[in-house]
Amino acid sequence: MATETTLQPFDFARDPFATKQRGLWEMAFQRLIRNRLAFVSAIILIFITVLAISAQLVPFIERHDATVQQYAVVNEGPSSEYWLGTDILGRDMWARLLYGTLFSLKIGLGTQLIVLLVGITIGMGAALGGKLSDTILMWFTDLAYAFPDLLAIILLRQVLFGRDWPIIGTGDPQIPGFPSAILGTILAISLVSWVTIARLVRGQMLSIKEQDYVLAARSIGASPWRVVRAHMLPNTLSTVIVSVTFGIPLAIFAEGALGFIGLGVPSPYTSLGALMGDGYAYLFVNNWLVVWPAIMVAILMLCFTFLGDGLRDALDPRTRK
């Protein structure tokens, strides 16, 4: 006589996938450490970030105020007193380079934070919604993708987030250490840069939601939010993290282009792009004004690129050893 079996409810508090997921992230971190180029790049980025932040807190590191004008030492070359020389107004280039690097990093990280939120939201809405929402959101994504990036950023920065805009465009700080003009730059770049992550999230989730482990979780009574949070998002994050890592230097480069043509951070604030734009007019008088910020931009872009390559290899299951 066959015995009747009763299905017991699944205990989500003891989800074995949680332990498995932590193991995968731990292995990815170990593979990243073994990638010497990516590991050294991460160390350099941490060092530059800590140095730029510390310069605003410890006067010894900054040596001279980045905004103080000293007309007796205009356009001096590197020396023991001014390590990287001075600009056309006698301001210390070492202090201004650290100051500009900090603001460029704020713009890069702030941009990717907004891109991450917008991209994941639209990508999830397209993948998990119905056919109508997928069509509408992807049509909107394709429309945003059709505009040239730099041209769209310039238009948004000047028209929607211009300096005369009552909230974003004013020069007064809205957040301590974060002037509203930088918020306008971040928003302008973010509204153009979210398309890639939205497409990646949509593609990944469309593939993942048909996998056996997702179907099994649904069959045992897992709620849609539980399936998304415990299974779909963790398996999408690896691709998103790599995309964000590559997006940070692109945002810094976009801000540099805006600063170079005079649409970036207004005075007395500065960024790496603004430093290059200010120094370009005096390139044949004092080429150090362009060399130092250009070197810093190159270092940041190379380090983020190498780190992104390392993260891509570490998080790719096909490269596991």
| CA gap 60, 229 in Å, rounded | 47
Nearest CA to 64 out of 94, 103, 87 is that of 94
β-strand partners of 175: 178
Instruction: Parse the chain into domains and list their residue ranges.
Output: 27-64+87-319
- Residue 49: name the closest of 321, 296, 223 by CA: 296
Listed in sequence order, the DSSP H helices in 35-92 are: 36-55, 59-62
Q: 27-64+87-319: what CATH class?
A: mainly alpha
- Is the C-alpha dihedral spanning 274, 260, 112, 315 positive or negative? negative
pLDDT digits (tens, 9 = 90+) for 225-238: 777 777 787 778 77
- Quick count: other Cβ atoms within 10 Å of Cβ 277? 22
pLDDT greater than 80 at residue 28: no
DSSP per-residue codes, 200-245: HHHHHHHHHTTSHHHHHHHHTT--HHHHIIIIIHHHHHHHHHHHHH
For the cut 70, the answer to whether the pLDDT of residue 23 exceeds it is: no
Residue 13 pLDDT > 70, yes or no?
no
Specify the length of the chain in residues: 321
Give the tens place of pLDDT for each residue, 72-88: 888 887 888 888 888 88
Residue 37, CA distances (Å) to 2, 307, 310 in order: 63, 8, 8
Handedness of CA 319, 20, 217, 220 (dihedral sign): positive
Q: What confidence score (pLDDT) does residue 319 get?
A: 54
The predicted pLDDT at position 299 comes to: 93
Mean pLDDT of 216-229: 76
Residue 77 has which token pair? 């070359």
